[in-house]
């Protein structure tokens, strides 16, 4: 099959669907291609909410400042200004589409507190905000009639004679049929890459496919070392306990029942930014003041009624996987890999330096999160920059209509896949993935140092060699998930190298990146982004300046 | 702990029939059935095909039947799945019901999503949106949220007794979605929606078996949404169908005599002579076997019952109906 | 044990054999019934879906009758049971109860929310005890393969039915074993009989009926036994049409639960009213019973 559209969006989470709707509204013929049905996307898992300075006593400047400070001054302030300015309209749009946001007594949108924010500006739907928005965007996608290629896996970005991105090759996971999709512009919205780590709060589909596709096509990945560890995940399976538990007033306690955040963040306490809370929790655990390798999250004082109304899903998860009913017991939690702040470098229109290639959402790095993302800013990023990328892609596609992809690109992709499936070997991708994830967590986790990072790098080089010996047991074409797993691992091995390369290069501690051998923030040397560019020998690290508009770096206190 | 699984396998290009395959895997105590399946796939057999993603019952990918009951594999603990098994009996895992199998535990979702799309699952407000948000009470949003909690996993569809015999049925998930819009004060397409769901394949094809309520991992209670849609559809005047006629006839005989007059309810529910004739053999047999009372007498408490009936109707705003005198 | 006996409409209408066979077994089981002759139809869920307040009010009147006598309500129909349980659950809320009591006041009823509703099957297992039932068996139904068919309302939703008794969806099998018969294991046991859609989508209803009977038959059932007379109306009364709809012969006798018990207690097929059945049960059952009696003596 050879397919042609003006704009091709890869990924059908919040960013992807928002981009597709925007591109269509801008007059483009749009298609969306995704390895899962849209409602299965990981945007579902965002529990807490979405930020906007909507209240009369709040201001976009305050939201922007909180975000800049939260980012540890690594966020690009031009992008952050756009994020904060466009947030109210973005949320109102979602409300108009049908999102069932909680209300106040007057029937207006009601908000809650969230970490790192100076106002209660997080708008929410119980504790399943991501799901509620994702499903409403899906409703809009159905309404739009936009063509959706569900359960298609992209293998490569196509380039035209001028080097511009002109489509993708992908295969229908169900049938195995390989197709070339040509497009005037491609928007990558493929989400996070949590599976590079083990454990991670991320879904199994979060394998950074789009990030790796862009990297291989020669565009830069920015600030990949900035990996967010969420302070409250469950020990048994790494599941996330949303920040809304603390936003609603939950405490973090150590073995002695002390609210240990008192020493680290006397004002914000449990609602300091995530990097700060995760480090404090990890210190408690490392220094023996934890309980069974965890600290305790306690919401008992909120009372059963509030827990049931505002945190029902969280309670259910804790009950299922920690065996603790939050109504009458604290839940043991620990920091766990949660979010990748870095990603495909884009400008504020979502454009990458490669003509025809756009990106938005977690796979992109625009950068609004810098060294540390504030809770409830990620959903916001997806809709604000998803829309901008969709509009920009539509405009670009108007100036450069899609050329039919040559049949050879389709045939080449098919041949490569067949060879991969046919080859013999002694390794299994699941085993390699696990080894990668474990070394990443052990050596590239909350606390890092040069020796550990070098060990991780050596392990990753070894895993890349062993990857050549991976055999795919399933030799068929029909729904070959073993093939998909191998391709995902291939992508992730590249991305893991970039995370380590960035972490090795950045000899300072900023945001989520803590080098115990370089414990201070070093603005003189490192108030800049790291960039990873693909070379045959692995990533080459470069740097780029940070955009500073009005907020000069200061020491962060919460 | 060791888990013994018995998984239904099917590869349409290789197998004539589905067959069972057994796996024994080592998993932690808290493991879910999905964890055990992933252990089997990752450690023993990469060809085992199943959809899954979030592992925390929010994405809706891993619908399957465990020991014959539809569920999300990631929400079903191994310890729970074992509860009613005899010692040494494996946990049985099969694909979702009422959907064609693509391969192993993966089913075809096109029809499923097609039905969701059929109910026009998007807000249809009256006119352009306000400058700010729509002003609506939080209670209304909390009510709509009960159905918005649906993750479209298909557990309800997999378990639906009506779908087993009536493939046209829109099914619990799509109808719960329809309910979500009729309950939303921002949506203005109520009449259109209620008319659509009143047609064959809609609300009146639900057989009231509670199976969807029982298996829904998000407590959406789809059947209860369907029953509410019935009430709203009847209130909106969509009563020219056997379901609404049955409901009215049922209420009428209770109001009149205090209890059910089966024969009368049946004859008043049907549409015209052809349908009545279809039922004639059933009636004849019942008559011959002494199963059709020739005279329906009123309960001695019928007057009291009628008074309470009328009072309840007045209180709930249901228009009282002129009851025809007894036959 | 004194109970407020609520036979329900079908036992007094289309299934006289049910009413008759219940009469045969209550006394030996030590159950003293006071029949609520005046109680209204539960509405069978149909009234609830039209107007929940109305259904709650009519059922609250019945509950109040039992409460006055300080007796639990004994039901013999899955649908009556489930409908009553749902109303009773709503009536545990004081606001709901006050609203309903206001409607009952002119008729001099008040319901305080204390009535317990029990299907005969539950009472046998939970109150009478299966040991006592076993002692009353004069003619163990050995060699008889009986397929249980619950009726949805008796097992779902489990939040309402099985909260305190999580095994209620296994009682029928246990009782069948107690009577000396062999319970047939098949998927259809807990499915819908098709009755609720029979007037709305007859073809679908009949296919549902037929598939369950076929399932039981394929698993070797000599007969099916149900605690719900509405299921019986379909499984027995429309088995011929269900067979046509499926294009396969069926011919499986369907017994009401109390009939099976009465037969095991030594009563004759005529006493339990097998003559009322549409699918002849007397012939095949008679032979089995003779064999059972011979085996018991």
**Is A108 contained in some domain?**
no
pTM score: 0.95
Among residues A408, A437, A468, which one ends one of the domains? A408
HSE-CB for A90 with a 13 A CA cutoff: 30
Do residue C51 and residue B313 have CB atoms under 8 angstroms apart?
yes
**Is A477 contained in some domain?**
yes
Using the predicted structure, report yes or no on whether residue C297 has a pLDDT greater than 80. Answer: no
Nearest to A212 by CA among A253, A172, A155: A155
Q: Which of B45, B122, B187 sits opposite A140 (nearest CB)?
A: B122
Task: Work out the minimum CA distance from C31 to partner chain B, whole angstroms.
Answer: 25
Q: Is B286 on the interface with A (CB under 8 A)?
A: no
Find the mean pLDDT for residues A1-21. 95
C-alpha to C-alpha distance for C260 and A502, rounded to whole angstroms = 77
Using the predicted structure, report yes or no on whether residue C295 has a pLDDT greater than 80. Answer: no
The pLDDT value recorded for residue A310 is 85
Per residue in C149-185, pLDDT (tens digit) is: 999 999 999 999 998 999 999 999 999 999 999 999 9
B318 pLDDT band, cuts 50/70/90, is confident
**Is A99 contained in some domain?**
no
- Token pair, residue C136, equals 């009353």
Q: Which of B208, B241, B311 sits opposite C45 (nearest CB)?
A: B208
**B-interface mutation test, from A17, A42, A107, A206, most B Cβ less than 10 A away:** A107
The pLDDT value recorded for residue B320 is 66
- Same-domain pairing of A304 and A326: yes
Q: Is B109 on the interface with A (CB under 8 A)?
A: yes
- Residue B86 CA from chain centroid, whole number: 31
Give the domain CATH number at A540. Answer: 1.20.58.100
Q: Which of B227, B243, B316 sits opposite C200 (nearest CB)?
A: B243
Do residue B209 and residue C47 have CB atoms under 8 angstroms apart?
no
A314 pLDDT band, cuts 50/70/90, is confident
Q: Which of B58, B136, B137 sits opposite A44 (nearest CB)?
A: B58
Do residue C152 and residue B210 have CB atoms under 8 angstroms apart?
yes
Q: Which residues contact B29 (CB under 8 A, 6 or more apart)?
A: B1, B79
Neighbours of A365 (CB within 10 A): 28
- Same-domain pairing of A34 and A150: yes
Q: Which of C153, C199, C201 sits opposite B166 (nearest CB)?
A: C201
Whether the Cβ atoms of residue A377 and residue A83 lie closer than 8 Å to each other: yes
Q: Is B114 on the interface with A (CB under 8 A)?
A: no
Task: Work out the minimum CA distance from C58 to partner chain B, whole angstroms.
Answer: 7
C-alpha to C-alpha distance for A78 and A83, rounded to whole angstroms = 9
The pLDDT value recorded for residue B324 is 45
Do residue B318 and residue C38 have CB atoms under 8 angstroms apart?
no
* Total domain count, chain A: 3
HSE-CB for B152 with a 13 A CA cutoff: 27
C-alpha to C-alpha distance for A132 and A531, rounded to whole angstroms = 35
- Chains in contact with C, where contact means 3 or more Cβ–Cβ distances below 8 Å, are B
Task: Work out the minimum CA distance from A38 to partner chain B, whole angstroms.
Answer: 10
- Token pair, residue A530, equals 């790291």
Strands (E), B119-272: none
Q: Is C95 on the interface with B (CB under 8 A)?
A: no
C296 pLDDT band, cuts 50/70/90, is low
**Is A60 contained in some domain?**
no
- Same-domain pairing of A421 and A520: yes
The pLDDT value recorded for residue A401 is 82
Angle at A359 between CA A357 and CA A361, to 5 degrees: 175
Q: Which residues contact A373 (CB under 8 A, 6 or more apart)?
A: A70, A71, A228, A274, A339, A341
Give the domain CATH number at A27. Answer: 3.50.50.60
Counting other chains too, the contacts that C20-23 makes at CB distance below 8 Å and 24 or more residues apart are C20/C271, C20/C272, C20/C273, C21/C256, C21/C258, C21/C259, C21/C261, C21/C262, C21/C267, C21/C271, C21/C272, C21/C273, C22/C76, C22/C120, C22/C258
The pLDDT value recorded for residue C292 is 64
Q: Is C275 on the interface with B (CB under 8 A)?
A: yes
Find the mean pLDDT for residues A352-375. 97
**B-interface mutation test, from C11, C20, C85, C103, most B Cβ less than 10 A away:** C103
- The single residue listed with the structure tokens 């300046």 is A545
The pLDDT value recorded for residue B321 is 66
The pLDDT value recorded for residue B325 is 42
Q: Which residues contact A186 (CB under 8 A, 6 or more apart)?
A: A7, A8, A9, A10, A157, A165, A167, A168, A356, A357, A358, A393
Do residue B312 and residue C211 have CB atoms under 8 angstroms apart?
no
Q: Is B227 on the interface with C (CB under 8 A)?
A: yes
Whether the Cβ atoms of residue A69 and residue A369 lie closer than 8 Å to each other: no
Q: Which residues contact A161 (CB under 8 A, 6 or more apart)?
A: none
Whether the Cβ atoms of residue B279 and residue C233 lie closer than 8 Å to each other: no
- Token pair, residue C114, equals 């204390």
Whether the Cβ atoms of residue C150 and residue C227 lie closer than 8 Å to each other: yes
Task: Tell me how many residue pairs between chain B and chain C have CB atoms under 8 A apart.
Answer: 194
**Is A271 contained in some domain?**
yes
Q: Is C110 on the interface with B (CB under 8 A)?
A: no
Per residue in A398-439, pLDDT (tens digit) is: 998 888 888 899 999 999 999 999 999 999 999 999 999 999
Do residue A479 and residue B106 have CB atoms under 8 angstroms apart?
yes
Chain B residues 64-103 within an 8 A CB cutoff of chain A: 75, 77, 102-103
- Same-domain pairing of A424 and A525: yes
Task: Work out the minimum CA distance from A543 to partner chain B, whole angstroms.
Answer: 35
Using the predicted structure, report yes or no on whether residue A176 has a pLDDT greater than 90. Answer: yes
Q: Which helix (H) or strand (E) holds A182?
A: strand A178-188
Q: List Cα–Cα distances, B247 to B227, B244, B311, B312, B321, in angstroms.
A: 11, 5, 19, 16, 13
With b meaning 16 or more CB within 10 Å and e meaning fewer, what string describes C158-185?
Answer: eeebeeeeeebbebbbbbbebbbbbbbe
Contacts C201 to B, Cβ<8 Å:
166, 200, 204-205
Q: How much is the mean pLDDT over chain B?
A: 95
- Same-domain pairing of A428 and A518: yes
Do residue B301 and residue C53 have CB atoms under 8 angstroms apart?
no
Whether the Cβ atoms of residue A295 and residue A252 lie closer than 8 Å to each other: yes
HSE-CB for C224 with a 13 A CA cutoff: 36
Give the domain CATH number at A249. Answer: 3.90.700.10
Among residues A408, A434, A468, which one ends one of the domains? A408
Contacts B134 to A, Cβ<8 Å:
95-96
Q: Which helix (H) or strand (E) holds A251?
A: strand A251-253
A374 pLDDT band, cuts 50/70/90, is very high
Region for A531 from its dihedrals, namely left if φ exceeds 0, alpha if ψ lies in -120 to 50, beta otherwise: beta
Region for A364 from its dihedrals, namely left if φ exceeds 0, alpha if ψ lies in -120 to 50, beta otherwise: beta
The pLDDT value recorded for residue C149 is 98
- Same-domain pairing of A256 and A170: no
Do residue C47 and residue B211 have CB atoms under 8 angstroms apart?
no
Among residues A408, A431, A450, which one ends one of the domains? A408
The pLDDT value recorded for residue C48 is 95
Task: Work out the minimum CA distance from B274 to partner chain C, whole angstroms.
Answer: 13
- Same-domain pairing of A277 and A369: no
For residue A8, which phi and psi values (nearest 5 degrees)?
Answer: -115, 120
Q: Which of B30, B60, B129 sits opposite A96 (nearest CB)?
A: B129
- Same-domain pairing of A15 and A36: yes
Using the predicted structure, report yes or no on whether residue C83 has a pLDDT greater than 90. Answer: yes
Per residue in B180-196, pLDDT (tens digit) is: 999 999 999 999 999 99
A236 pLDDT band, cuts 50/70/90, is confident
**A-interface mutation test, from B38, B52, B56, most A Cβ less than 10 A away:** B56
Do residue C152 and residue B208 have CB atoms under 8 angstroms apart?
yes
Chain B residues 291-310 within an 8 A CB cutoff of chain C: 291-293, 296, 299-301, 304-305, 307-309
Contacts B80 to A, Cβ<8 Å:
none
C-alpha to C-alpha distance for A390 and A349, rounded to whole angstroms = 9
Contacts A174 to B, Cβ<8 Å:
102
Using the predicted structure, report yes or no on whether residue A233 has a pLDDT greater than 90. Answer: yes
- Same-domain pairing of A292 and A153: no
The pLDDT value recorded for residue B322 is 54
**ipTM for the complex shown:** 0.95
Q: Give the strand pairing for A295-298 and A331-340.
A: antiparallel
**Is A71 contained in some domain?**
no
CA-nearest residue of chain B to A429? B42
Q: Which of A119, A246, A279, A510 is catalytic?
A: A246
Per residue in B211-235, pLDDT (tens digit) is: 999 999 999 999 999 999 999 999 9
- Same-domain pairing of A436 and A524: yes
Task: Work out the minimum CA distance from B303 to partner chain C, whole angstroms.
Answer: 10
- In this complex, does chain B touch chain A, defined as having at least 3 beta-carbon pairs under 8 Å apart? yes
Region for B142 from its dihedrals, namely left if φ exceeds 0, alpha if ψ lies in -120 to 50, beta otherwise: alpha
- The single residue listed with the structure tokens 């109504």 is A327
Using the predicted structure, report yes or no on whether residue C101 has a pLDDT greater than 80. Answer: yes
CA-nearest residue of chain A to B148? A132
- Same-domain pairing of A38 and A155: yes
Residue A286 belongs to what domain range?
Answer: 232-335
Using the predicted structure, report yes or no on whether residue B323 has a pLDDT greater than 80. Answer: no
- The single residue listed with the structure tokens 């002695």 is A256
Q: Which helix (H) or strand (E) holds C145?
A: strand C145-148
C293 pLDDT band, cuts 50/70/90, is low
Q: Give the strand pairing for A528-535 and A447-448.
A: unpaired
Bridge partners of residue A343, in order along the sequence = A222
Using the predicted structure, report yes or no on whether residue C9 has a pLDDT greater than 80. Answer: yes
Q: Which of A230, A433, A443, A513 is catalytic?
A: A230
Task: Work out the minimum CA distance from C268 to partner chain B, whole angstroms.
Answer: 18
- Same-domain pairing of A522 and A532: yes
The pLDDT value recorded for residue A320 is 82
Report the percent of chain A where pLDDT is more than 70.
Answer: 100
Q: Is A426 a catalytic residue?
A: no
Q: Give the strand pairing for B69-72 and B63-66.
A: antiparallel
Q: Is B282 on the interface with C (CB under 8 A)?
A: yes
Per residue in B72-128, pLDDT (tens digit) is: 999 999 999 999 999 999 999 999 999 999 999 999 999 999 999 999 999 999 999
Find the mean pLDDT for residues B162-166. 98
User: How many angstroms separate the first and last alpha carbons of chain C?
Assistant: 31
C-alpha to C-alpha distance for A269 and B64, rounded to whole angstroms = 43
Do residue A100 and residue B60 have CB atoms under 8 angstroms apart?
no
Q: Which residues contact A427 (CB under 8 A, 6 or more apart)?
A: A466, A467, A469, A470, A471
Bridge partners of residue B302, in order along the sequence = none
Q: Is A423 a catalytic residue?
A: no
Ordered structural domains, chain B, with CATH: 2-107 (3.10.20.30), 110-235 (1.10.1060.10), 242-316 (no CATH)
**Is A554 contained in some domain?**
no
- Residue A334 CA from chain centroid, whole number: 20
Q: Is C151 on the interface with B (CB under 8 A)?
A: no
Neighbours of B288 (CB within 10 A): 11
**C-interface mutation test, from B252, B256, B289, most C Cβ less than 10 A away:** B289
Per residue in A512-524, pLDDT (tens digit) is: 999 999 999 999 9
Per residue in C230-269, pLDDT (tens digit) is: 999 999 999 999 999 999 999 999 999 999 999 999 999 9
Bridge partners of residue A295, in order along the sequence = A333
Q: Which residues contact B82 (CB under 8 A, 6 or more apart)?
A: B91
Q: Is C98 on the interface with B (CB under 8 A)?
A: no
C-alpha to C-alpha distance for A285 and A277, rounded to whole angstroms = 12
Q: How much is the mean pLDDT over chain A?
A: 96
Do residue C43 and residue B164 have CB atoms under 8 angstroms apart?
no
């Amino acid at each position: 099959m050879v397919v042609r559209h003006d704009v091709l969006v890869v990924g059908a989470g919040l960013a992807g669907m928002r981009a597709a709707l925007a591109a269509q509204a801008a007059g483009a013929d749009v298609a969306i291609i995704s390895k899962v049905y849209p409602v299965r996307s990981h945007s579902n898992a965002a529990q807490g909410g979405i930020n906007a300075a909507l209240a009369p006593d709040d201001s976009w400047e305050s939201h922007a400042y909180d975000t800049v400070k939260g980012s540890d001054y690594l966020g690009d302030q031009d992008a952050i200004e756009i994020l904060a300015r466009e947030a109210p309209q973005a949320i109102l749009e979602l409300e108009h589409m049908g999102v069932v946001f909680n209300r106040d007594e007057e029937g207006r949108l009601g908000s809650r507190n969230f970490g790192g924010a100076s106002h209660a500006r997080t708008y929410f739907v119980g504790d399943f905000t991501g799901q509620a928005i994702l499903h409403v965007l899906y409703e809009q996608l159905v309404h739009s009639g936009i063509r959706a290629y569900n359960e298609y896996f992209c293998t490569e970005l196509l380039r035209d004679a001028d080097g511009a991105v002109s489509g993708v090759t992908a295969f229908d996971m169900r049938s195995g049929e390989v197709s070339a999709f040509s497009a005037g512009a491609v928007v990558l919205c493929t989400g996070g890459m949590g599976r590079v780590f083990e454990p991670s709060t991320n879904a199994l589909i979060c394998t950074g496919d789009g990030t790796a596709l862009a990297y291989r096509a020669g565009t830069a990945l920015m600030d990949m070392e900035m990996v967010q560890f969420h302070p409250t995940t469950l020990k048994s399976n790494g599941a996330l306990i949303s920040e809304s538990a603390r936003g609603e007033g939950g405490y973090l306690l150590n073995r002695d029942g002390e609210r240990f955040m008192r020493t680290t963040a006397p004002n914000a306490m449990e609602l300091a930014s995530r990097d700060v809370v995760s480090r404090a929790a990890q210190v408690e655990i490392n220094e023996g003041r934890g309980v069974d390798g965890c600290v305790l999250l306690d919401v008992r004082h909120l009372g059963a009624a509030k827990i049931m109304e505002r945190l029902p899903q969280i309670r259910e998860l804790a009950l299922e996987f920690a065996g603790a009913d939050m109504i009458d017991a604290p839940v043991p939690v620990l920091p766990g890999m949660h979010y990748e702040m870095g990603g495909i470098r884009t400008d504020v229109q979502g454009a990458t330096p490669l003509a025809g290639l756009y990106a938005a959402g977690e796979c992109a790095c625009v950068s609004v999160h810098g060294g540390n993302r504030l809770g409830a800013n990620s959903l916001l990023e997806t809709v604000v920059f998803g829309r901008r990328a969709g509009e920009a892609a539509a405009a670009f596609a108007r100036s450069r209509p899609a050329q039919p992809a040559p049949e050879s690109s389709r045939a080449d992709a098919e041949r490569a896949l067949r060879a991969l499936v046919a080859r013999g070997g002694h390794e299994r991708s699941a085993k390699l993935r696990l080894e990668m994830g474990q070394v990443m967590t052990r050596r590239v986790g909350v606390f890092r140092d040069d020796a550990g990072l070098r060990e991780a790098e050596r392990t990753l080089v070894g895993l890349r060699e062993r990857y050549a010996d991976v055999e795919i047991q399933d030799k068929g074409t029909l729904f070959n998930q073993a093939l998909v797993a191998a391709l995902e691992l291939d992508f992730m091995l590249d991305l893991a190298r970039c995370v380590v390369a960035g972490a090795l290069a950045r000899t300072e501690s900023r945001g989520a990146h803590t080098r115990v051998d370089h414990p201070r923030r070093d603005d003189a040397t490192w108030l800049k982004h790291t960039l990873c560019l693909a070379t045959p020998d692995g990533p080459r690290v470069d740097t780029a300046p940070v955009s500073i508009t009005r907020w000069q770096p200061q020491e962060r206190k919460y | 702990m060791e888990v013994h699984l018995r998984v239904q396998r099917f590869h349409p290009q290789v197998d004539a029939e589905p067959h069972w395959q057994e796996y024994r895997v080592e998993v932690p105590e808290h493991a879910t059935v999905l964890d055990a399946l992933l252990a089997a796939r990752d450690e023993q057999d990469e060809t085992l095909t199943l959809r899954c993603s979030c592992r925390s019952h929010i994405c809706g990918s891993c619908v399957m039947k465990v020991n014959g009951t539809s569920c999300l594999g990631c929400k079903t603990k191994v310890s729970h799945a074992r509860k009613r098994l005899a010692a040494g009996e494996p946990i049985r895992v099969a694909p979702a019901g009422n959907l064609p199998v693509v391969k192993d535990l993966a089913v075809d979702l096109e029809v499923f999503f097609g039905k969701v799309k059929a109910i026009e699952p998007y807000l249809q407000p009256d006119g352009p949106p306000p400058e700010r948000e729509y002003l609506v009470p939080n209670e209304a949003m909390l009510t709509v949220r009960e159905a918005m909690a649906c993750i479209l996993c298909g557990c309800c569809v997999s378990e639906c007794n009506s779908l087993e015999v009536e493939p046209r049925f829109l099914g619990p998930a799509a109808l719960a979605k329809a309910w979500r819009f009729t309950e939303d004060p921002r949506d203005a397409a109520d009449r259109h929606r209620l008319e659509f769901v009143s047609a064959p394949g809609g609300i009146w094809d639900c057989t009231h078996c509670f199976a969807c309520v029982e298996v829904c991992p998000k407590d959406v209670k789809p059947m209860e949404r369907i029953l509410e849609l019935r009430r709203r559809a009847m209130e909106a005047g969509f009563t020219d169908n056997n379901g609404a006629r049955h409901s009215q006839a049922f209420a009428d005989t209770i109001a009149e005599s205090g209890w059910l007059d089966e024969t009368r309810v049946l004859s008043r529910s049907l549409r015209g002579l052809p349908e009545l004739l279809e039922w004639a053999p059933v009636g004849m047999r019942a008559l011959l076997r002494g199963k059709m009372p020739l005279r329906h007498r009123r309960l001695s408490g019928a007057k009291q019952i009628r008074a309470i009936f009328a009072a309840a109707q007045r209180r709930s705003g249901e228009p009282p109906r002129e009851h025809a005198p007894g036959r | 044990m004194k109970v407020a006996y609520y036979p329900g409409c079908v036992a007094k209408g289309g299934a006289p054999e049910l009413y008759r066979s219940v009469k045969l077994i209550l006394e030996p089981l030590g159950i003293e019934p006071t029949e609520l002759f005046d109680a209204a139809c539960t509405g069978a869920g149909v009234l609830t879906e039209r107007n929940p307040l109305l259904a709650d009010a009519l059922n609250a009147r019945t509950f109040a009758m039992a409460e006055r006598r300080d007796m639990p309500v004994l039901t013999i129909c899955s649908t009556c049971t489930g409908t009553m349980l749902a109303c009773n659950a709503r009536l545990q809320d004081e606001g709901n109860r006050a609203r309903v009591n206001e409607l009952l006041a002119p008729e001099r009823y008040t319901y305080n929310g204390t009535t317990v509703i029990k299907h005969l099957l539950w009472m046998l297992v939970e109150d009478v005890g299966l040991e006592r039932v076993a002692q009353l068996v004069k003619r163990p139904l050995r060699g008889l393969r009986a397929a249980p068919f619950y009726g949805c309302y008796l097992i779902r939703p489990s939040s309402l039915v099985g909260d305190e008794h999580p095994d209620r969806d296994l009682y029928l099998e246990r009782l069948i074993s107690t009577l000396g018969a062999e319970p047939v294991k098949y998927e259809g046991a807990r499915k819908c009989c098709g009755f609720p859609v029979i007037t709305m989508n007859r073809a679908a209803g009949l296919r549902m009926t037929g598939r369950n009977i076929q399932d039981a038959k394929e698993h070797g059932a000599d007969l099916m036994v149900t605690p719900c007379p509405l299921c019986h109306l379909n499984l027995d009364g429309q088995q011929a049409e269900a067979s046509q709809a499926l294009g396969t012969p069926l011919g499986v006798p369907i017994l009401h639960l109390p009939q099976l018990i009465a037969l095991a207690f030594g009563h004759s097929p005529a006493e339990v009213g097998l003559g009322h059945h549409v699918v002849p049960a007397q012939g095949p059952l008679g032979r089995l019973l003779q064999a059972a009696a011979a085996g018991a003596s």
